[in-house]
Amino acid sequence: MEIYQIRAFIKVARLGNVTRAADALSLTQPAVTAQIKALEQSLGVALFDRSGGRLVLAKAGEALLETAEQLVALGNQLKSAAQALQGELHGVLELGVPSEQPDFLRLGELAATVTRQLPLVELKTHVMPTESLAEQVASGRLAAALTVAAAPPRGVQWMPLRSVRYRVALPRALADSMRKGGWRELAQLPWLDGPAGSHAHLLLRDLFERHGLSPRVVMQNDDQANLMALVRAGAGCALLREEIALQGAAAGDCTVWGSVHADAVLGFIASADRVGEPLVVALESMMRALWLA
């Protein structure tokens, strides 16, 4: 029984597909299949049910999955401890992030902490939509990410950092038309949306779907960090973080529509089979110090 065989078992179990697991592990499909078969022979039990052309966890696989994940985590921790004895950590620390203002994500504070505590490590961020962040971390392509979501993503380790509330912001030129309007009238106004799978897109669609409606989107904008500038210019309505929306309303740059809001959580997610890696352990520690201390 080898640790790489256990890692292959976990990846297939979590992704439910040998091809996707092989891609995540940077292996060929036959190699992953062979590793799982070798592990089954070593353990003396079938981990997957292969009947009907489908690959699903067998009862033995379900019973052993948690223990397998613990073994991989312990192996990573052992490697981390050994590397710590060899000297300071070094390399590239890659972190996925949503499209939001750096101050809100505390990226400047994080970068300063990395520079101070890990002088041989380079911090590299990748901006992606929420759904892409969760998929990349679950597959292990990214070790960790910050994400904004209404509910914890599946298949990853989740650490909530703070609640986030979004409000409906209207350009001042459209405010008068909504003094007596309701949800149907609101949906017909021009709207600024985020890319498919982004937190802005998911929250906006959910807000209107509760009322059986869809917003009239006139612009899809990848840069959610600067939506206030577009609302101020009259380009359309948008969901803005409450603090930004209220500041804009106080400055006369926009109007906040009623008390309507959409709630989400900013959280830190980590790959289940990479949480013991030295840089990931260090990153999680820094996140706890920045947000939860």
pLDDT attached to residue 23: 87
Is the model more confident about 80 or about 4? Answer: 4
User: 88-162+267-291 adopts what CATH topology?
Assistant: D-Maltodextrin-Binding Protein; domain 2 (3.40.190)
pLDDT tens for each residue of 224-269: 888 999 999 999 999 999 999 999 999 999 999 999 999 999 999 9
Q: What percentage of the chain carries pLDDT values higher than 90?
A: 55
* Degrees, nearest 5: CA angle 285-160-90: 25
- Class for domain 164-263, per CATH? alpha beta
pLDDT tens for each residue of 71-103: 888 887 777 766 655 457 788 899 999 999 999
The CATH number of the structural domain formed by 3-85 is 1.10.10.10
pLDDT attached to residue 83: 60
Residues 6+ apart with CB under 8 A from 126: 94, 95, 96, 97, 142
| 120 vs 114: CA distance, rounded Å | 9
Domain with CATH 1.10.10.10 in the chain: 3-85
| pTM value surpassing 0.85 | no
| 134 vs 153: CA distance, rounded Å | 6
| 120 vs 104: CA distance, rounded Å | 26
Domain with CATH 3.40.190.10 in the chain: 88-162+267-291, 164-263
pLDDT tens for each residue of 32-49: 889 889 988 888 888 888
pLDDT attached to residue 62: 86
